[in-house]
Amino acid sequence: PEVIRRAVSYGMTVCPGCATATEAFAALDAGAQALKVFPSSAFGPDYIKALKAVLPPEVPVFAVGGVTPENLAQWIKAGCTGAGLGSDLYRAGQSVERTQRQAAAFVKAYREAVQ
């Protein structure tokens, strides 16, 4: 929480990782403006629904860890504002073309999920 408070004091937007409701509320109490649930794949979309049920409704929540173009809609439908992307978007040494394809697939999946 101290890192969050310090970052907020400098005018930074803070979106810390959390895995439990206790961690989420501690982060919000310290001034976090959004939350990322990590590792989301270990919990699943139903966990996001349960967490969102107890959080203030205006708090953006992002799924991070295990998000793919194929499952992004599940996270959005569970209540996530969006997702943090990692190795499914880019892996060390992969081609620019593959990164472009993956980025396009994520954009398409997100647009379809929020329609």
Tens digits of residue pLDDT in 58-69: 999 999 999 999
Q: CA of 80: how far to CAs of 4, 5, 40, 72, 96, in Å?
A: 21, 24, 11, 9, 28
| DSSP-derived 3-state class of residue 61 | strand
d(CA 75, CA 46): 9
**pLDDT confidence of residue 35:** 99
**pLDDT confidence of residue 59:** 98
Here the tokens at position 81 are 């504002």
d(CA 37, CA 24): 9
**At 66, phi and psi to the nearest 5?**
85, 10
Here the tokens at position 47 are 């966990």
Q: What share of the chain is helix, strand, coil (3-state, %, to 5)?
A: 50, 10, 40
Here the tokens at position 3 are 């890192």
Pick the CATH number of 2-114 from 2.30.42.10, 3.40.50.10680, 3.20.20.70, 3.20.10.10: 3.20.20.70
**pLDDT confidence of residue 101:** 97
**pLDDT confidence of residue 80:** 98
**Ranges of residues in the chain whose predicted pLDDT is under 50:** none
